[in-house]
Structure 1
Amino acid sequence: MTQAQVQKTLYQSDLVAWLDDTAIKLKQRQFEDIDIDSLIEEIEGLAGRDRRELKHRLVVLLNHLIKRLYVNLPNDYRGWELTIREQRRQLTDLLEQSPSLCNYWVEIFPVAWKTALSETREDYPQFHLPDEWQFCAEINALLSEKFWENHE
């Protein structure tokens, strides 16, 4: 079995072992022994993972903002606000680590809004929810403003 076949087999059978082995080979500059195709696949996967995380957290944030703004259940406000705070913190960390995701945020906001709105409508059909986000949709505003304080 060639070194490339060994690497491919390791990649398919034990990702962590493959990652450790690849890191060692990179540090030792043993580039000829690295499974380049799998390395490319993993690097591309990392970018996709961060985009998926951003979208997921944005949907959760919007879902809880919608509930806090439009679902009149005062006993639930505190829990929704805690979730809003946590999602904002996680999104801020993600955007600080990868500022280029700001461009993706702008791209996926409409999709995230529709998803969050649909979920909230399904959970709370008795409440009227607007079809469009009625507040500032800029990243900084969504990550900091307590929209409900001016809405009530």
Structure 2
Amino acid sequence: MNSAPPTSLYDRDILLWVEDTVAKLKAKDFEHLDLENLIEEVESLGISQRNALVSRLMVMLEHLLKRLYVDSPYDYNGWERTIRTQRLEISFLLEDTPSLKAHWEASFTKAWSRALKIVRQDYPDTPFPDEWPFEADLEALLDRPFWQTPP
């Protein structure tokens, strides 16, 4: 059973396709662009940025929940380092893509439900809150040391 090799450059070598597309755009050779795949790739950029925000928020919230509710002083430092790292990465992401701020609330909601599910599986005997007990705005989540003033 021989399957036919992919025929388009996009299917054969995405990096080469990107380089070729960039060269055509720079040369204003719009007539020879692979518009279908170009549109798909541009659309996926926005989705990728939103997913990156949710992913980083999820990791940060998991570690915030563990730091706030799991009684394991030995792990506090590691959890706090992860929180700081995710905060920094989120700040960089928002600096590079400011329009993501408009998606903050939806991203937080999605990340919260995923983070809560994970920590409840990892720590089934720990009573985690159903709702985030603090303010969920961007500034608070990127700056506030919530564990210093627990709920």
Question: Residues 53 and 107 of structure 2 are in contact (CA less than 8 Å); yes or no, is this contact kept in structure 1?
Answer: no
Deviations 1:13-70 (A, max 9, x none): 1100000011111111111111111111100011111111111111111000000111
How far the C-alpha of 1:111 sits from its partner, in A, is 2.2
**Percent of aligned pairs with the same amino acid:** 48
- Secondary structure, counterpart of 1:41 in structure 2: helix
Gapped regions of structure 1 (runs ≥ 5): 1-7
2:135 aligned residue: 136
> Hey, what does 1:99 align to over in structure 2?
98
Corresponding residue number in structure 1 for 2:111:
112
Structure 1 residue ranges (4+ consecutive) displaced by more than 4 angstroms after TM superposition: none
Q: Which amino acid aligns with 2:100?
A: L
Whole-Å separation in 1 of the counterparts to 2:34 and 2:109? 39
Deviations 1:113-139 (A, max 9, x none): 111111101111121111111111001
Separation in 1, partners of 2:95, 2:105: 16
Letter of the 1:42 partner, please give it. Answer: E
TM-score scaled by structure 1?
A: 0.91
| Equivalent residues, number | 145
In 1: Cα distance, 2:77 partner to 2:71 partner: 12
**CA distance, structure 1, for counterparts of residue 88 and residue 107 of structure 2:** 19
How does 1:1-152 map onto structure 2 within 5 Å?
9-151=8-150
TM-score of the superposed pair, with normalisation by structure 2 = 0.92
Please state how far the C-alpha of 1:107 moved relative to its aligned partner: 1.4
RMSD: 1.3
